[in-house]
Amino acid sequence: MADISSLGVGSGIDVNKLLTDIIEAERKPTESRLDRKEAEFQAQLSSFGTLKGALSSFQTTTSSLRFSSSLLQVEATSTDESAFSMSTVSNAKESSFTLEVSALAKAQSLASATFANISDTVGTGTLSFNFGRTSYNEGVYDTFSKDPSRATQDVIITDGSLEGIRDAVNSASIGVTASIINVGSDGFKLLFTGDNLGANNSMEITVADDLTDNIDSTGLSQLAYAANALNMSETTPGQDASVRYNGLLVTRENNTISDLVSGVTFTLKTPSQNGAAEVSLARDSSQMGTMVDTFIEGYNELVEVINSLTSFAPEGGSGPLLGDAAIRGVTNQIRTVLNEIVPNIGDNYTNLSSVGITTDTDGKLVKDSARFDAAVEADPSAVARLFSVGGEASGSNLNFVASTGSTQSGIFGVEISQAATRAVYTATTNSTLIIDASNKNFTIKINDTTSSTISLTEGTYADGDALAAEVQAVINADSNLQNAEASVAVIYNGDRLDITSNKYGKESKIELLTGSADLGFATGSGVDGQDIAGTIGGVSAVGEGRFLTGSGDANGLLVEYTGSTPGSVGGVTFSRGYADKLFNLMTDLLKSNSSITGKTEGIQASIDDIGEQRIELENRLFTIETRLRKQFGAMDALVATLRSTGDFLTQQLSNLPKIGG
């Protein structure tokens, strides 16, 4: 077949242009159709992307209203902002009271004698820190009472210089900060300061000196601070914060108080200089109104996007998703949610129109501010629950904890057949209050975590309660148990020690692996704890510790029962407001298996198919062009042959003799 450069030479016809025109004429109808369909599909795909963006944006808007704590803001004001500051949460109640800061909480500080240089040697041995409350008699040290919940902390001192002691104490991380203070021309002092504020976090320091005497003023004994050796001086006593609430004296261990007024945290700054401050807790309805305004704006922006994508223009320019079933389904689902009634929040405010929120002719939300503000003023909790998700528990020992997306609105009674219990190990009769090397050690397993060897402090204990406090402190100080968050409570029950795990449920276990006969600690297991059991809404619930998780309509509803008596213990009223319902709807619409995703995947498949059709078109045109080139090549060769024959005949005819010549 003639190549592209010689094709047409024989016939004199511009065959290449003719072929191009034929192929383009063949291509144009199909290509135009594919271009038009692809443009339509791309516009639809882009439009669904715009829709998903709008849905995601609205979901973000609804998330801030899903929880009543965001809506039920209480503003706290005070006539003395210099003495204390306040922060509030949603369960704060409107009220007024007076508050006066009498004293701030302080940490105890103990100072050593003065040393000429920071490298001076004090001594070596062991410093033992106990924590508790120091009692004073007319300002003079009297007695020290150890906190049973905190074990003795030992720090071994091998470098006996001021620097070495400071670094050893700080590296031990025992709740004490050591520092060296330059007091001026006299030299340097070693200062121990408790990390925790409050009178009950004072220190007692005893010494096991490498020298012979543990209480004199030589060697490491210089740092003793106990009833028999006050060799350090108290520069700052441990002190509780004290405030007067409506004239009533109240003390706390630190300067942040969150358990005085429900829902309010006080941060103490300085003692009051102008007497008691007037404090007011008032609900800020404007905050709820502002958040609902944001919700309405977000919804209306979504409506604008949907309207633009589905608009109809008789003369062209209609929205790319006009008549699309997927977006019509989205619109219907949203409208269905907005038209639903929110049950279980009272009789007065059960839908949007009851608080002055209606729709206009474009489907957008409009708020009557006067009606909305009146509803908030009358029942702020009901209005908040109109938008948010939440539950309210009845019963003094029953608490609503959480829910899941599958929990249905309803009123669910809670029936307890088995209250949760904790593991208890009951020792046999305790025969001694004297602890020495022969009976001080034992090993215990708490909730399947094995302790290191537990060693009680040697000595003679005043009574069984003092011994129980020591046993509790050393068990709870064990690092293995602390890492597993396993702890116990120990009491002296007449003539024996009872050890109770602080964990509830079937995972609560106590076992003595190695015992101490004098303490009544025989090896073996105690009585294991039991999980709570019962029903929520009449349907069997799953118990774990003190928590019950519902099923059926109450699926995912989590409640806590802190009581010990079985029976009907109350109930939970659970509701889902509009913001929560719409948030969950947006989540469903944006999932990978949603109708929108299915639609976009179908459109993308159609676009991909058009790409395949383009390839098929090019292959078909190539076949046609190849066939035509072959045919035109044959024609061109035939014409060239005929032309050559014609030229030959013409030449021969011209050479014939002329008649009469």
Say if residues 277 and 80 touch (Cβ distance below 8 Å). Answer: yes
The model carries a pTM of 0.65
Q: What kind and span of H or E run contains 358?
A: strand 357-359
Query: What is the 3 state secondary structure string of 156-198?
Result: EECCCEHHHHHHHHHHHCCCEEEEEEEEECCEEEEEEEECCCC
Beta strand pairing call for 558-561 and 125-137: unpaired
The highest-level CATH class for domain 422-525 is mainly beta
Say if residues 243 and 250 touch (Cβ distance below 8 Å). Answer: yes
Of 396, 101, 85, the closest CA to residue 264 belongs to 85
- Between CA 309 and CA 294 the distance in angstroms is 23
Which residue has 């019963």 as its token pair? Answer: 395
Q: For Cα atoms 572, 575, 579, give the angle at the middle one, nearest 5 degrees.
A: 150
Cα dihedral value 451, 455, 457, 462, nearest 10? 80
- Between CA 524 and CA 503 the distance in angstroms is 19
- Between CA 352 and CA 341 the distance in angstroms is 8
Q: Is 646 helix (H, G, I), strand (E, B) or coil?
A: helix
pLDDT of residue 3: 47
- Between CA 534 and CA 416 the distance in angstroms is 4
Of 629, 625, 638, 631, the closest CA to residue 10 belongs to 638
Give the rounded distance of the alpha carbon of 343 from its chain centre. 29
- Between CA 382 and CA 72 the distance in angstroms is 10
- Between CA 577 and CA 340 the distance in angstroms is 10
Return left, alpha or beta for 49; rule: phi > 0 is left, psi -120 to 50 is alpha, else beta: alpha
- Between CA 113 and CA 229 the distance in angstroms is 13
pLDDT of residue 12: 66
Say if residues 94 and 237 touch (Cβ distance below 8 Å). Answer: no
Give the rounded distance of the alpha carbon of 274 from its chain centre. 42
Residue by residue, DSSP assigns 231-258 as: -SEEEE--B-EEEEETTEEEEESSSEE-
DSSP alpha helices (H): ranges in 64-131? 68-71
C-alpha dist (Å) from residue 34 to 312, 607, 612, 616: 24, 9, 11, 12
Say if residues 426 and 404 touch (Cβ distance below 8 Å). Answer: no
Return left, alpha or beta for 592; rule: phi > 0 is left, psi -120 to 50 is alpha, else beta: alpha
- Between CA 137 and CA 143 the distance in angstroms is 9
Instruction: For the chain, list residues with pLDDT below 70.
Output: 1-12, 90-91, 659-661
DSSP alpha helices (H): ranges in 64-129? 68-71
Q: Domain residue spans in the chain? A: 15-54+594-650, 74-104+241-283, 109-236, 285-382, 391-419+532-576, 422-525
Which residue has 């500051």 as its token pair? Answer: 85
Residue 67, beta-bridge partner list: 389
- Between CA 620 and CA 614 the distance in angstroms is 10
